[in-house]
Amino acid sequence: MNKQTKPKIPLLKDLKFKVMSWNQIYSSLLELTTLIKNSNFVPDVIIGVSRGGWVPARILSDLLENSNLYNVATKFYVGVNQTKYEPTITQELSGSVEDKTALLVDDLVDSGKSLKLLISYLKNKGTSEVKTATIFRKPWSVVVPDYCLRETRVWVVFPWDQKEAIRNMFENFKSSGNSVDSIKEKLISVGLNKKIINQIYEELH
Protein backbone atom coordinates (compact mmCIF):
# COMPACT_ATOMS: atom_id res chain seq x y z
CA MET A 1 0.00 0.00 0.00
CA ASN A 2 1.40 3.40 -0.94
CA LYS A 3 1.95 5.88 1.83
CA GLN A 4 -0.11 9.04 1.69
CA THR A 5 1.81 12.16 0.74
CA LYS A 6 1.19 14.86 3.32
CA PRO A 7 -0.38 17.91 1.63
CA LYS A 8 1.85 20.97 1.58
CA ILE A 9 0.66 23.72 3.92
CA PRO A 10 0.21 26.98 1.96
CA LEU A 11 1.90 30.19 3.02
CA LEU A 12 -0.03 32.06 5.70
CA LYS A 13 -0.43 35.15 3.51
CA ASP A 14 -1.86 33.05 0.66
CA LEU A 15 -4.44 31.12 2.70
CA LYS A 16 -8.00 32.25 1.94
CA PHE A 17 -11.00 31.86 4.23
CA LYS A 18 -14.74 32.40 4.10
CA VAL A 19 -16.20 32.96 7.56
CA MET A 20 -19.93 32.26 7.84
CA SER A 21 -22.16 33.96 10.42
CA TRP A 22 -25.25 32.35 11.97
CA ASN A 23 -27.50 34.67 9.95
CA GLN A 24 -25.73 33.73 6.72
CA ILE A 25 -26.15 30.05 7.58
CA TYR A 26 -29.86 30.41 8.21
CA SER A 27 -30.40 32.41 5.01
CA SER A 28 -28.46 29.77 3.06
CA LEU A 29 -30.57 26.98 4.50
CA LEU A 30 -33.74 28.86 3.57
CA GLU A 31 -32.43 28.91 -0.01
CA LEU A 32 -31.60 25.22 0.19
CA THR A 33 -35.11 24.47 1.46
CA THR A 34 -36.58 26.22 -1.58
CA LEU A 35 -34.44 24.09 -3.91
CA ILE A 36 -35.57 20.90 -2.21
CA LYS A 37 -39.25 21.85 -2.22
CA ASN A 38 -39.15 22.95 -5.85
CA SER A 39 -37.78 19.55 -6.83
CA ASN A 40 -40.81 17.86 -5.23
CA PHE A 41 -38.55 15.60 -3.17
CA VAL A 42 -40.13 14.85 0.21
CA PRO A 43 -37.73 12.76 2.32
CA ASP A 44 -38.98 10.32 4.90
CA VAL A 45 -35.90 11.02 7.02
CA ILE A 46 -33.21 13.69 7.25
CA ILE A 47 -29.71 12.52 8.14
CA GLY A 48 -27.05 14.85 9.51
CA VAL A 49 -23.43 13.89 8.89
CA SER A 50 -21.28 14.37 11.97
CA ARG A 51 -20.11 16.80 12.83
CA GLY A 52 -20.55 19.55 10.28
CA GLY A 53 -23.93 18.39 9.04
CA TRP A 54 -25.67 18.17 12.40
CA VAL A 55 -26.67 21.82 12.73
CA PRO A 56 -27.76 22.26 9.08
CA ALA A 57 -29.75 19.00 9.30
CA ARG A 58 -31.51 20.22 12.47
CA ILE A 59 -32.43 23.52 10.84
CA LEU A 60 -33.61 21.81 7.65
CA SER A 61 -35.70 19.48 9.81
CA ASP A 62 -37.51 22.58 11.07
CA LEU A 63 -37.76 24.33 7.69
CA LEU A 64 -39.01 21.20 5.93
CA GLU A 65 -41.29 20.37 8.87
CA ASN A 66 -39.84 16.89 9.13
CA SER A 67 -39.01 15.69 12.64
CA ASN A 68 -37.54 12.35 11.52
CA LEU A 69 -33.94 13.37 12.12
CA TYR A 70 -31.08 10.83 12.23
CA ASN A 71 -27.32 11.11 12.45
CA VAL A 72 -24.28 9.25 11.19
CA ALA A 73 -20.59 9.99 11.66
CA THR A 74 -17.48 9.76 9.50
CA LYS A 75 -13.91 10.80 10.20
CA PHE A 76 -11.97 12.54 7.48
CA TYR A 77 -10.31 15.88 8.32
CA VAL A 78 -7.17 16.06 10.43
CA GLY A 79 -6.18 19.69 9.93
CA VAL A 80 -6.37 22.80 7.75
CA ASN A 81 -6.27 21.61 4.14
CA GLN A 82 -5.15 18.15 5.29
CA THR A 83 -7.10 14.89 5.18
CA LYS A 84 -6.73 11.20 5.79
CA TYR A 85 -6.46 9.04 2.70
CA GLU A 86 -9.93 7.52 3.07
CA PRO A 87 -12.91 8.36 5.32
CA THR A 88 -14.36 5.80 7.70
CA ILE A 89 -17.75 5.49 9.41
CA THR A 90 -17.22 6.03 13.13
CA GLN A 91 -20.85 6.12 14.29
CA GLU A 92 -23.56 3.94 12.83
CA LEU A 93 -26.82 5.40 11.56
CA SER A 94 -29.13 6.18 14.49
CA GLY A 95 -32.33 4.82 12.90
CA SER A 96 -33.67 2.52 10.20
CA VAL A 97 -33.87 3.74 6.61
CA GLU A 98 -35.19 0.53 5.08
CA ASP A 99 -37.66 1.35 2.28
CA LYS A 100 -37.43 5.06 3.13
CA THR A 101 -36.29 8.10 1.16
CA ALA A 102 -33.45 10.00 2.80
CA LEU A 103 -31.95 13.47 2.62
CA LEU A 104 -28.27 13.30 3.59
CA VAL A 105 -27.04 16.67 4.87
CA ASP A 106 -23.54 18.09 5.38
CA ASP A 107 -22.21 21.62 5.58
CA LEU A 108 -19.61 21.21 2.83
CA VAL A 109 -18.37 18.53 0.46
CA ASP A 110 -14.63 18.66 -0.22
CA SER A 111 -13.14 15.56 -1.82
CA GLY A 112 -16.58 13.93 -1.89
CA LYS A 113 -15.18 10.67 -0.53
CA SER A 114 -17.19 10.83 2.70
CA LEU A 115 -20.42 11.55 0.84
CA LYS A 116 -19.74 8.78 -1.65
CA LEU A 117 -19.10 6.33 1.21
CA LEU A 118 -22.32 7.33 2.99
CA ILE A 119 -24.49 7.09 -0.12
CA SER A 120 -23.30 3.52 -0.62
CA TYR A 121 -23.73 2.82 3.09
CA LEU A 122 -27.35 4.03 3.09
CA LYS A 123 -28.20 2.02 -0.02
CA ASN A 124 -26.81 -1.07 1.70
CA LYS A 125 -29.08 -0.24 4.65
CA GLY A 126 -32.10 -0.52 2.33
CA THR A 127 -33.03 3.09 1.66
CA SER A 128 -35.25 3.46 -1.41
CA GLU A 129 -33.71 6.78 -2.49
CA VAL A 130 -30.89 9.00 -1.24
CA LYS A 131 -30.46 12.66 -2.11
CA THR A 132 -27.69 14.87 -0.77
CA ALA A 133 -27.65 18.50 0.35
CA THR A 134 -24.75 20.79 1.27
CA ILE A 135 -24.25 24.53 1.56
CA PHE A 136 -20.88 24.47 -0.22
CA ARG A 137 -18.94 22.14 -2.46
CA LYS A 138 -15.38 22.17 -3.71
CA PRO A 139 -14.99 21.95 -7.52
CA TRP A 140 -12.82 18.82 -7.26
CA SER A 141 -15.40 16.76 -5.35
CA VAL A 142 -16.06 13.31 -6.81
CA VAL A 143 -19.72 13.76 -5.82
CA VAL A 144 -21.92 16.66 -6.88
CA PRO A 145 -24.69 17.10 -4.27
CA ASP A 146 -28.28 17.01 -5.49
CA TYR A 147 -28.86 20.30 -3.68
CA CYS A 148 -26.00 22.76 -3.22
CA LEU A 149 -25.85 26.53 -3.14
CA ARG A 150 -22.27 27.55 -3.86
CA GLU A 151 -18.96 26.29 -5.17
CA THR A 152 -15.81 27.49 -3.41
CA ARG A 153 -12.09 26.80 -3.39
CA VAL A 154 -11.39 28.48 -0.03
CA TRP A 155 -11.42 27.16 3.53
CA VAL A 156 -14.89 27.78 4.98
CA VAL A 157 -15.20 28.45 8.70
CA PHE A 158 -18.65 27.76 10.13
CA PRO A 159 -19.92 29.06 13.49
CA TRP A 160 -19.77 25.54 14.94
CA ASP A 161 -16.11 24.88 14.08
CA GLN A 162 -14.34 28.16 14.89
CA LYS A 163 -12.29 26.67 17.72
CA GLU A 164 -11.15 23.79 15.53
CA ALA A 165 -10.15 26.18 12.73
CA ILE A 166 -8.29 28.52 15.09
CA ARG A 167 -6.48 25.62 16.80
CA ASN A 168 -5.41 24.12 13.48
CA MET A 169 -4.19 27.49 12.23
CA PHE A 170 -1.94 27.96 15.24
CA GLU A 171 -0.66 24.38 15.18
CA ASN A 172 0.11 24.35 11.46
CA PHE A 173 1.48 27.83 10.99
CA LYS A 174 3.53 28.11 14.18
CA SER A 175 5.33 24.96 13.10
CA SER A 176 6.04 26.69 9.77
CA GLY A 177 7.78 29.58 11.50
CA ASN A 178 4.97 32.13 11.70
CA SER A 179 4.59 34.26 14.80
CA VAL A 180 1.54 34.13 17.05
CA ASP A 181 0.76 37.77 16.26
CA SER A 182 0.90 37.19 12.49
CA ILE A 183 -1.50 34.25 12.78
CA LYS A 184 -3.88 36.30 14.93
CA GLU A 185 -3.76 39.15 12.40
CA LYS A 186 -4.63 36.73 9.60
CA LEU A 187 -7.58 35.32 11.53
CA ILE A 188 -8.90 38.80 12.33
CA SER A 189 -8.47 39.92 8.70
CA VAL A 190 -10.77 37.16 7.43
CA GLY A 191 -13.58 38.10 9.82
CA LEU A 192 -13.05 36.10 13.01
CA ASN A 193 -13.68 37.90 16.28
CA LYS A 194 -10.50 39.12 18.03
CA LYS A 195 -11.88 38.38 21.51
CA ILE A 196 -12.80 34.82 20.52
CA ILE A 197 -9.37 34.27 18.92
CA ASN A 198 -7.56 35.45 22.06
CA GLN A 199 -9.80 33.46 24.38
CA ILE A 200 -9.36 30.23 22.40
CA TYR A 201 -5.60 30.79 22.08
CA GLU A 202 -5.24 31.29 25.85
CA GLU A 203 -7.32 28.16 26.50
CA LEU A 204 -5.17 26.10 24.14
CA HIS A 205 -1.89 27.36 25.57
pLDDT at 34: 98
Decide: 97 and 43 in contact? Cβ < 8 Å.
Answer: no
CB-side neighbour CA atoms (13 Å) of 60: 36
Whole-prediction pTM value?
0.84
Per-residue pLDDT of the chain (205 residues; tens, 9 = 90+): 333 334 455 677 677 889 999 999 999 999 999 999 999 999 999 999 988 999 999 999 999 999 999 999 998 655 555 555 678 898 999 999 999 999 999 999 999 999 999 999 999 999 999 999 999 999 999 999 999 999 999 989 999 999 888 888 888 888 778 888 998 998 898 888 899 999 988 887 7
pLDDT at 165: 87
pLDDT at 8: 55
3-state secondary structure 73-133: EEEEEEECCEEEEEEEEEECCCCCCCCCEEEEEEEEECCCHHHHHHHHHHHHCCCCEEEEE
pLDDT at 87: 85
Burial class (CB within 10 angstroms; exposed 0-12, middle 13-18, buried 19+) of 31 = middle
Q: What ranges do the domains of the chain cover?
A: 17-157, 159-204
pLDDT at 203: 87
* Matching CATH number, 17-157, of 3.40.50.300, 3.30.930.10, 2.160.10.10, 3.40.50.2020: 3.40.50.2020
pLDDT at 76: 63
First to last CA, the chain: 37
pLDDT at 172: 80
Amino acid at 68: N
